[in-house]
Amino acid sequence: MCSLANITTWCYHQVMAAQFIPNKLSKIAQILLITTVAIAALMSRFYQISAVPAALSHDEMVYVLNAYSVAITGRGITGEWQPLSLTPMHLDFAELPSTLMAPFYLLPISSLLSTKLPFILMSLILPILLGWIAYRLSNSKISAYATGFITLFNPWIWQFGRLSFDAYWSMFFIVAATTVFVSAKKYHKLYALPLFFLSFYQYQGHKLVFLPWVMVWGVYILSSAKNIRQKLPTIIVMILATSLFAFYLLFQLPKQSSAERLDAIVSPSHELIKNDALNQRQLSLDSPLTRFAVNSYTIYVEHLVQRYSEVFNPRFLFIEGQANNSSFAVWNHGIFYVVDAVLIALGLAAIVMKKSKKLLLLFSVGLLIAPLPAILADSQWYIFRSSLIIPFFLILMGFGATQLFLRLPKVIFALFVALYLASIARFGYVYFTQYPILSANRHYFIDKIMSNYLSRISTDQRVMIFSNEAEFSFKAYIFYNNLLNKKTASQIQAAFLNEQYSYNNINFTKECFDLQLLESQDTIYILRNDVVICAEEENIPWGQLEAGQAAKLSDHISFADVKDSGEVYAIFNDPVCQDQELGSYLRINKLEQLHPNNLSDKAFCKTWLTDLRSFGLTNQN
């Protein structure tokens, strides 16, 4: 029988075989240790999943609503996109993420958990896959278990396993394919092909590194093959991967709007490089050497060196990541722990001491090609584009941890483990106490709050929301209120197709706001702080109105930003909170407050709305 006791016993024997847990521990202690790790891993993924992170971002919402629509109707949110068409829904998005997410919306669980569940599962499976690759590369069970543990609690794997970004799908399938590619014997290696196929049609940025990745691992495998019969399956995988890439490049990409994204790939002829070369020449004294010292090619080399230095910058890797991604990533923490730097150094040293040219070449070339999407892009966006360096580093950490276990006195090793656990605990503290506020980005999160506010209004009440991002606000309203179902699907799909974002009496628009509308008390008007006011000659930003006109907009309450209580939306003719005593700023200090659905009208109003009328402060951007 397959029981919990049998599974626990099997795990115990596997760990003992790896000699990863000291033999001096009693069986009960060993089982408790394994159980503790499992519980900690599950808690790190599921605890407060509906509140941390606080809301879905733009990219997540696109995939989520399309997947939800596919599950219900078999087509995307506009009613046109087909999930098996292998075409992107939009210029900025990939082909298959929504297709793979759709089945999870058929489960009898909440829509938000359906959104997160596939990513949580991938984050729990990735440690097993990387641990297995580490074992195949080192033939060490200690390295396998160390890599698995380190991956399980890695900050990037952990936090993005609770989000819904396409880069995670891409990493998961390319690692899964590589696991099969490296481990399978003979023609079983061909089973890697469907996984490589799935990885290719995920995150657009990783397409650039797909073929080099397959080739690097293929060459490594071929270096161990003794004859053509052993080499042939690997060669077939490499040929078919090349064919897939060529087919996409020659036949699919020219027909898609995503072909425009090729302009974002920086080459010596790119405008970014040309302009930089021109600027440097203009700032140089006349010299016959200038044409040789400063030209598109020298500037391009400088660009590549700069980007590589930024991707492998210790500050990015171990200290703060990319602070400008704070709306969905822990901005004050690197993608690794500081202590991981020691393990990486020891892992590299272990390969050098082992004198394994194959492994050294694999990791050297692998780390060179993995960040290509970030290196060659015209914008500095590393958190996803360079993410394929993470598997290489995690495996190196596993190698480094093995060296510590084998070479250090047990007391010193125990101290190092304690330091590592303290690093994990600190990240957990930051993630569950600081990140909930940091992730409450004003437009992502406030749209979630506004959606809950709209659910508290009578269905007979007419509401107009003016926003420069009317489409996203409408998506948030539909998703957070679970309005998409078989009965409403055709109406909602038509709204997105026609770009008329309305549902029943709720209307979202990005048009200018006519001040004369305020003369009517029958409609609730909600204005985002970047909305322009209609004028005869040229529309006027709200903050630039003359005093007389601005006074007409002063009588309202506000949805405020979590971080600084600055006004994000103004509400006119409010029927929900008009009788409540509202504060002038937000006081968010409990996770319970991030669950607006669980709040009464009174608690909701006092928590999430502010009244600045007595201060004369409105439209605080």
Q: Where are the domains of the chain?
A: 1-40, 109-438, 442-469+510-615
Pairing mode, if any, of strands 462-466 and 506-509?
parallel
pLDDT band per the 50, 70, 90 thresholds, residue 20:
very low
* Arithmetic mean of pLDDT over the chain: 91
Cβ proximity of 116 and 108 under 8 Å? no
Choose the most confident range, by mean pLDDT, from 265-269, 335-339, 528-532. 335-339
Tell me, yes or no, if the pTM score tops 0.75: yes
Instruction: Tell whether the model's pLDDT for residue 596 goes beyond 50.
Output: yes
Q: How many residues does the chain have?
A: 621
C-alpha–C-alpha distance, residues 220 and 137, integer Å: 10
| Cα distance between residue 334 and residue 426, in whole Å | 12
Task: Please give the Cα distance from 617 to 164 (Å, whole number).
Answer: 37
Cα maximum dimension of the chain: 86
Helices 192-200 and 228-247, interaxial angle, to 10°?
20
Integer Cα distance of 163 and 165 in angstroms: 6
Report, as an integer, the average pLDDT of 42-67: 95
Query: What gap in Å lies between CA 192 and CA 600, rounded to an integer?
Result: 52
Q: Is 523 exposed, middle or buried (0-12, 13-18, 19+ CB in 10 A)?
A: middle
pLDDT for 441 equals: 67
With CA atoms as reference, report the closest residue to 255 among 94, 88, 98. Answer: 88
Residue 82: per-residue pLDDT:
95
CB 469 within 8 A of CB 427: no
pLDDT level of residue 19 (50, 70, 90 thresholds):
very low
pLDDT at 614: 65
- Using only C-alpha atoms, the chain has a radius of gyration, in whole angstroms, of 27
Confidence at 3, pLDDT banded by 50, 70, 90: very low
Query: Which of helix, strand or coil describes residue 325?
Result: helix
Nearest-angstrom CA–CA distance, 243 and 216: 16
- Mean pLDDT confidence for 375-391: 91
Query: What tokens appear for 498 in the block?
Result: 């026609």
